[in-house]
Structure 1
Amino acid sequence: MSVEPTWQSPIAPGVSWYQATAGERPTYPSLDGSRHADVAIIGGGYTGLQAAYNLAVAGVDVVLIDANRFGDGASGRNGGQLGTGQRSWPEELEERLGYERSKALFDLAEAAKHHLLQFAEAHQISIDYMPGQMNVAHKASYRRDYAENARISAERYGYAHLHFMDTAETQERLGSKRYSCGVRDTGTGHIHPMKLLIGLARAAHQAGAALFEMTKAKGLKSVGGKTVIETGSGDITADRVLIACNGYIGDLEPVTASHVMPIRSFIGATVPLDRHPRVLPGSEAVADSRFVVRYFRKSKDGRLLFGGREAYTADNPLDISDHIRRQITEIYPELADIPIEYAWGGSVGITMPRQPFVRDVMPGVTAIGGYSGHGVMLSNYCGKLYAEAVLGRSSDLDLFRALNIPPFPGGRLMRSPLLFLALTWFALRDRF
Structure 2
Amino acid sequence: MDFTFGPDDATFREEARTWLEAHLVGEYAAATGIGGPGSEHEGVAVRRAWERELGRGGWIGIGWEDGDEADGDEADTGQARRGRRATLTQQVVWAEEYARLRAPARVGHIGENLLAPTLIAYGSQEQRRRFLPPIARGEALWCQGYSEPGAGSDLAGVRTAAVRDPEHGGYRVTGQKIWTSLARDADWCFVLARTEPGSRRHHGLSFLLVAMDQPGRIEVRPIRQMSGTSEFNEVFLDGAHAEEVVGGEGNGWAVAMGLLALERGVSTLVQQIGFAAELDRVVQVAVDSGATGDPVLRERLVRQWAELRTMRWNALRTLGTTTGTDDGAPSVAKLLWGGWHKRLGELAVEIRGAAGAIGPHDWSPGSPYELDEAQRLFLFTRSDTIYGGSDEIQRNIIAERVLGLPREPR
**Normalising by structure 1, what TM-score?**
0.28
Whose radius of gyration is greater, 1 or 2? 2
Point out which structure has higher relative CO (alpha carbons under 8 A, 6+ apart).
Answer: 1
